[in-house]
Amino acid sequence: MVCAGASHGRMMVIAANKEANAQGIHNGMPLADARAIVHELEVFDEKPGRKEKLLEGLARWAIRYTPLSSTDPDGILLDITGCSHLWGGEEAYLKHITSRLQSSGYTIKAAIADTIGTSWALSRYGKGVEIVAPYQQHFALLPLSPAALRIPGEITEKLHKLGLNRIERFIQMPRSTLRRRFGENLLIKIAQAMGDEPEAFIPITIIQEFEERLACMEPIRTAKAIEIAIERLLGKLCLRLKKEGLGLRKAELKGYRIDGKTISTPIGTNRPSDDPIHLMKLFALNISGIAPGMGIELFTLSAEKTEKMERPQEKIWAGQAGLNSQPLAELLDRVAGKVGKNAIHRYLPRADYWPERAVKQAKDLSEDSGISFHNPLNRPIQLLPRPERIEVTAPIPDYPPMLFIYQGVRHSIKKADGPERLERAWWLEEGEHRDYYTVEDEKGNRYWLFRAGHYAAENSAWFIHGFFA
Amino acid sequence: MEQAVKKQVIEGLREQILSMQGYKTVSKSQQNISGLELFAPAFPVHSFPLQGIHEFISESREQTAASSGFISGILSTLMKDGSPCIWISASRKFFPPAAKRFSLNAASIIFIDLQNEKELLWVTEEALKCEGLAAVVSEIPDLNFATSRRFQLVIEKSKVTALFLRENPRILSNTTCLARWKISPLPSILPEGMPGVGQPSWKAELLKVRNGAGGTFEVCWSGSTFEQPQKENIRALPIHELQAG
């Protein structure tokens, strides 16, 4: 298996795994050559930035071993000063890291040394030795190839040409000679590897998640105490959100109980909010659902989704704000928190004649479909979820019926409108067309009736579908 | 002249007594918002009260439909400024496309569909707390005095209009409603000789009005406002004798 990417107009092998290496494929080989060696080569296209992303991910993951973690061109670099004893010494520490990485499928080499340069050299060119004792980096470097000093390829080549193929061969040479022949850079790299020159270490910065923790002195069991805990967490979180100009869309409260169980309570809002009072109300609806068991010892509140928030100007007169008013959004949040989001509906016209499909659900409060309802003047104010069968007396085709019987009550029709023929969308469903009539009975009740199918057809039937105001 | 002055003084005193009794009339500028002045005479101080509960009793599906239409008419006047309305129900049949007939923007009505009565009462109370709403419509079949009192207290703060549609209530006990309506459909009115079904017409009975006389109105919806029907036009021809074309 290899990773391949374009370089100088042709596909080159960028990285190859162990099996490919064993077959003679190495990095920097044209892909065509590699294919010639191994016919069934599996090739992955290199995406720009993938390596950096992977390394950064690993560096982030390594934060668990040390607070200072960083990436270098093809590896990760950890400053483990004062950390290894927590894993029982450097050996156990290194073993832990390598085995963890190996178990997730990485082939890695690692080394520990006093300086960045030496550990870099050993992890790439070292054989066997993984941990260099303090102040022993000089001896550890001696048997290595000059490339281990992180010097440019042409200088390495020059050194090899002169027979200086191990560091011990030239490290004793006078500095002035080395400088004259190979430049200042080599001297700096040697000094950095030995620890005579300082070298900068730039750790990666972890983006702080919006999470607040509250550890309790004593396990908490009462609703009031939980409320206070949530209030405190919200206060802190909202202050941070406010500083960043963000608002909360989704949050989760987790309580760690002393019996080892974790309970979580999620909340969601319709629009970003950083108002602790409003968010508290959303949590308050769910406090009764929090089972403290033996007691909760730790609360965490994390903002899972945040959004940029437009801070409204303080208004002197709170006018009618329509659908985007803050109180309305807060009300809907509370309702969604109590009875579920699916209970809230807002309808927009849909471009469809069929009554059952005439409306669609709006996704949010600001959506507008831009069209208007089809024939709204002729639609009943109440629509039955399913049309109900009625019995009719209809003497003439294409005329409204004279009377109909619905739920055992006889209505004789005095006025009528129609028919309005609606065809089914054949690409969606099969069935008969409908001929709709608006009718009014002798008492003034108005109904929406239809006949499914043609007048004389065998399967034609009459239904009531709605009530007019 | 003297009598007119006396009458004015008495009216003023009456108003004072009402306000002492906790009956809030809308401020003068809002008084008789256009479209509802037709019903004003039935209410105290000749103004249609908006801060409180209006109940609509219905005994059949047809009456529920008529009440929905009547409520839509009231909503269209209340929502003219673009403020939203919340419609709470446990078994909603309201069909949004019909809102257009009542010059109502269906997109600014938020429907909340619930499963049981407990949720219905909770959501209704929460909605009534929300300021800036044109009205809260709630389909509550049963409402007792204690609950209505709770709602009333909430409304006094938020000043939202509550319209409760009560289909087939089990008991009609006393509530704190401002008015109890019963809307039944009337035969629609068409100009002489015209075929078809005309504009919706209703008989709006005010069964109960707090501090008011009550009354019965025959109204029809003209497409944009409530109107008194023109009686002389009512003469329907039998449809089966009308010839098409």
Q: Which of A362, A376, A415 sits opposite B239 (nearest CB)?
A: A415
Q: Does residue B18 sit within a domain? A: no
ipTM: 0.84
| Cβ neighbours, 10 Å, residue A443 | 13
Q: Residues B80-87: what's their mean pLDDT?
A: 87
In total, the C-beta contacts within 8 angstroms joining chain A to chain B are 191
Quick: pLDDT tens for B127-162: 999 888 889 999 998 888 999 999 999 998 888 899
- pLDDT band with cut points at 50, 70 and 90 for residue B239: low
Q: Which residue has the higher pLDDT, A18 or B26?
A: A18
Element housing A288 (H / E): none
| B235 interfaces chain A, CB cutoff of 8 Å | no
What confidence score (pLDDT) does residue B27 get? 47
**Domain pair A2-45 / A212-311+324-332, same fold:** no
Q: Does residue B194 sit within a domain? A: no
| B115 interfaces chain A, CB cutoff of 8 Å | yes
What confidence score (pLDDT) does residue A33 get? 81
- pLDDT band with cut points at 50, 70 and 90 for residue B22: low
| B126 interfaces chain A, CB cutoff of 8 Å | yes
The residue segments making up the domain with residue B55 are 47-182+209-214
Q: Does residue B21 sit within a domain? A: no
What confidence score (pLDDT) does residue A128 get? 66
What whole-number distance in Å separates Cα of residue B171 and Cα of residue B169? 6
Topology of domain A2-45 in CATH is MutS, DNA mismatch repair protein, domain I (3.40.1170)
pLDDT in tens, chain A (469 residues): 777 777 777 778 777 777 777 777 777 788 888 888 877 777 777 777 778 888 888 888 888 888 888 888 778 888 888 888 888 888 888 888 888 888 888 888 888 888 888 888 888 887 766 788 888 888 888 888 888 888 888 888 888 888 888 888 888 888 888 888 888 888 888 888 888 888 888 887 766 677 888 888 888 888 888 888 888 888 888 888 888 888 888 888 888 888 888 888 888 887 788 888 888 888 888 888 888 888 888 888 888 888 887 665 555 555 555 677 778 888 888 888 888 888 889 898 888 888 888 888 887 777 777 788 877 778 899 999 899 999 988 877 778 888 899 999 999 988 888 788 888 888 888 888 899 999 999 888 999 999 988 887 777 889 999 999 8
- Contact (CB, 8 A) for A105 and A17: no
Topology of domain A212-311+324-332 in CATH is Dna Ligase; domain 1 (3.30.1490)
What confidence score (pLDDT) does residue B28 get? 42
| B96 interfaces chain A, CB cutoff of 8 Å | yes
Residues in B 134-193 with any Cβ partner in A closer than 8 A: 184-188, 190
pLDDT for residue B29 is more than 50: no
Q: Does residue B234 sit within a domain? A: no
Q: Which residue from B199, B198, B140, B201 is spatially nearest to B173, judged by alpha carbons?
A: B140
Q: Which residue from B82, B80, B98, B106 is spatially nearest to A361, judged by alpha carbons?
A: B106
Q: Is the CB of B65 less than 8 angstroms away from the CB of A381?
A: yes
Q: Does residue B79 sit within a domain? A: yes
Q: How many domains does chain B have?
A: 1
B177 CB contacts (<8 Å, ≥6 apart)? B52, B53, B54, B55, B148, B164, B208, B210
- Chain B's closest residue to A337, CA to CA, is B123
Strand partners, A464: A388, A449
Q: Does residue B30 sit within a domain? A: no
- pLDDT band with cut points at 50, 70 and 90 for residue B64: very high
What confidence score (pLDDT) does residue B112 get? 93
| B21 interfaces chain A, CB cutoff of 8 Å | no
Mutate to test the interface with A, among B62, B76, B224 (most CBs of A within 10 A): B62
Listed range (A449-458, B60-69, B85-94, B157-166) with the worst mean pLDDT:
A449-458
Residues of A in contact with B115 (CB under 8 A): 339
Of A37-46, A65-74, B14-23, B58-67, highest mean pLDDT: B58-67
Listed range (A4-13, A58-67, B40-49, B71-80) with the worst mean pLDDT:
A4-13
β pairing state of A68-72 and A75-79: antiparallel
| B241 interfaces chain A, CB cutoff of 8 Å | no
What whole-number distance in Å separates Cα of residue A334 and Cα of residue A340? 9
What whole-number distance in Å separates Cα of residue A269 and Cα of residue A328? 12
Instruction: List the domain boundaries for chain A.
Output: 2-45, 111-207, 212-311+324-332, 376-467
What confidence score (pLDDT) does residue A369 get? 75
What whole-number distance in Å separates Cα of residue A217 and Cα of residue A256? 13
Q: Is the CB of A468 less than 8 angstroms away from the CB of B65?
A: yes
A406 CB contacts (<8 Å, ≥6 apart)? A388, A390, A447, A464
CA distance A104 to chain B (A): 49
- Chain B's closest residue to A334, CA to CA, is B126
Q: Is the CB of B70 less than 8 angstroms away from the CB of A331?
A: no
DSSP A30: B
Strand, helix or coil for residue B50: coil
Element housing A79 (H / E): strand A75-79
- Strand ranges (DSSP E) for chain B? 53-58, 85-89, 109-113, 135-138, 161-167, 179-189, 199-209, 215-221, 226-227
Residues of A in contact with B113 (CB under 8 A): 343, 345
Q: Does residue B178 sit within a domain? A: yes
Q: How far is CA B37 from CA A103, A254, B225, in A?
A: 80, 56, 10
Beta-carbon-side half-sphere exposure of residue A290 (alpha carbons within 13 Å): 31
CA distance A15 to chain B (A): 58
Strand, helix or coil for residue A411: strand
Mutate to test the interface with B, among A326, A330, A331 (most CBs of B within 10 A): A331
- pLDDT band with cut points at 50, 70 and 90 for residue B231: low
- Contact (CB, 8 A) for A360 and B83: no
Question: Where residue B118 sits, what CATH number does that domain have?
Answer: 3.40.50.300
